[in-house]
Chains A and B, each alone.
Chain A
Amino acid sequence: MTRPRDIAVVGIGYSKLARDSGQSVGHLALTAAREAIRDSGVDPKAIDGINAVYSTDLAGVWPGYVIDGLRLPEMAWVGTCTPPSSNAIIDAINAVASGACNYALSYHAKYRWDVTSRDARSDPLRRSPAMTLDPTFSKTLTEPCAATNGLATVIRRHMHDYGARREHFGMIAVNNRTNAQLNPRAVFHGQRLTMDDYMSAPPIFEPFTMLDMDVPIDGAMATVITTAERAADLPNPAVFAEAWGHMAMPDSDMSFQPFDTPAAQRRLVERLWAQSGCTPADIDLTNIYDGYTILTLMWLEAAFCGRGESPGLLDDAWDSEAGVLRLLGRIPMSPHGGNLSEGRVQGMGHVLEAVTQLRTKAGSRQVVGAKRALVLNGTNPVLGGLILSGEQR
């Protein structure tokens, strides 16, 4: 694999992250985009590429809204993509690497729309525009069914086939919640979680509890990407992309095909190792997607152990007193709290936290000596992954 140019993340931006932001989803998107451009130090008039997550899920914010809303004068590259959020960043890296644009703004805005909970339904300002897409109509086939959470079937199947116990899923939920106590931005900052709390949570879609699912919030995040060469002229530390890519494979419709095959996850991680020349020994920090706890297990089995071996990996990594995981005895996971505890921006926070850590700007949760981060993002059908480094090679 060749890398045409070295590419860097030079700016990150957040909106408020909150259960109720008191703002529109468009306001959140504009805020995150503005903050990322300000953080980058790039002249707003030089931003010439933009993309966003904008399909297959709840309504997002179309790039035209942000181009107009921030009066970005000339966009040579415009893109949209499916979740997870890292897909937008990966696409932007490819756009800058190809020369399609010089400075790419990527963002993702999530909202606690009426469909996310009974509480949200009672708020007239949370009515979602008709946006949910199901081009295969596969979800419509299960409309009459009572309990259609396909990922709950994957959890059950994993427990049946490999002997994972509820505690293993709890280790992920507790680790991320413990970490969020050092992240003032996290919506669960100030609300600790113990393993006992986790084990006594009532089932929602059994075997899932509420604590296995990420927390819907209002929130947007954004990045600015450019070449390493241009990054050298900017005020803040750049973070360099050593490897990046998507992966998708068949049999990946989780609502219908609960096959617990981390094959696509594994293939993506293999490609990231090959592209970067890294192994797990080179990784100081990993931020792993946690839209549901089972998804983290699948990623662990792609990156740090074999299929079905995550229960043993987690047992070895678990510090029950501190309530945190140290993978392979060493590697912290999701110091920001992940989607489970910082809030659900579908993996964007995982990338922004890696950038913050590698800039050594993470304050009380700084991972000492963090030079390289592995970010694994999303679930089937489309995955994204990156290896980011604080140093240019």
Chain B
Amino acid sequence: MADPWKPTANHDTKHYWAGCERRELVLARCEECRQWIHPPRGVCPRCWSDRIAHEAISGRGRVYSFVVLPAARQGPDAQDKVTVWAELEEQERLIVVADLAPSERGFEIMIGDRLELTWGEHRGAAVPNFRKETR
């Protein structure tokens, strides 16, 4: 079997991808002021500290916006694919971008819908997906 897909990473983003291997959504977070920082940065944009930790986060949030890749562009028997810009509940405008899990594909999704984290696969590697909250 072919090796799984390897993301392009740097010193800031490698923690996000390492978290994916453990099926944890890991985001950068300032150790000083506790601000979540995504995309990750080496310096906190709020307090300018460079003490940046990388912590697991719930992955619960709401649909801020979304984009649909139509089935018609993907070939026969394809389904629409949906990528969601999710605003996580921990912090205003903390946005994580990920696909809607396959079971949720379609146009039922709306801005403001509640989301939770699940895990999908991209060429053999675990990647975060969202689905509508089930609770």
Chain B interface residues (CB < 8 Å from chain A):
5, 7-10, 12-13, 16, 38-39, 41, 45, 64-70, 72-73, 80-83, 85, 93, 95, 97-99, 111, 122-123, 125, 127
B85 to chain A, nearest CB (A): 5
- Does A141 touch B at the CB level, under 8 Å? yes
Q: Which chain A positions have C-beta within 8 A of B85?
A: 150, 153, 256, 258
Contact B97 A141, beta carbon cutoff 8 Å = yes
- Cross-chain contact of A137 among B12, B111, B122 (Cβ < 8 A): B12
> In whole angstroms, what is the CA distance A191 to B99 when docked?
37
Bound together, the chains give a CA A21 to CA B14 distance in angstroms of: 42
List of A residues within 8 angstroms of B68 by Cβ: 147, 203, 205-207
In the complex the two chains form, is B111's CB within 8 Å of A156's CB? yes
Q: Indicate whether A156 sits within 8 Å of B7 (C-beta atoms), given known contacts A147-B81, A204-B73.
A: no
Which residues of B sit under 8 angstroms from A304, Cβ to Cβ? none
B98 to chain A: closest CB distance in Å? 6
A-B contact pairs, 26 of them (CB 8 A): A136-B41, A140-B7, A140-B8, A140-B13, A142-B97, A143-B7, A144-B125, A145-B98, A145-B99, A147-B69, A149-B67, A150-B85, A152-B67, A153-B65, A156-B67, A160-B65, A202-B70, A202-B72, A204-B70, A206-B68, A206-B69, A256-B95, A256-B97, A258-B65, A258-B95, A259-B93
Q: Which residue of A lies closest to B121 (CB)?
A: A144
Q: What are the residues of chain A within 8 A of B38 when measuring CB–CB?
A: 256
Question: Given A144-B5, A147-B83, A257-B93, does the pair A156, B65 have CB atoms closer than 8 Å?
Answer: yes
| Closest Cβ–Cβ distance, residue A380 to chain B (whole Å) | 15
Q: Which residues of B contact A255 (CB under 8 A)?
A: 97
**Chain B residues near A250 (CB, 8 Å)?**
45
Residues from chain A with a CB closer than 8 A to the CB of B81 are: 146-147
- B98: chain A residues at CB < 8 Å are 145
CB contacts (< 8 Å) of A258 on chain B: these are 64-65, 85, 95
The answer, yes or no, to whether A32 is at the interface (CB within 8 Å) is: no
Residues of A within 8 A of B41 (CB): 136
Contact assessment for A143 and B8 in the assembled complex, using a CB-CB cutoff below 8 Å: yes
| CB pair B13 A141 closer than 8 Å | yes
Tell me the smallest distance from the CB of B84 to a CB of chain A, in Å.
9
Q: Residue on B with the closest CB to A138?
A: B39
A residues near B8, Cβ cutoff 8 Å? 137, 140, 143
User: Which of A136, A149, A160, A206 is in CB contact (< 8 Å) with B39?
Assistant: A136
Q: Across the interface, which residues of B come within 8 angstroms of A142, CB to CB?
A: 83, 97
Q: A146 and B69 in contact (CB under 8 A), knowing A141-B13, A257-B93?
A: yes
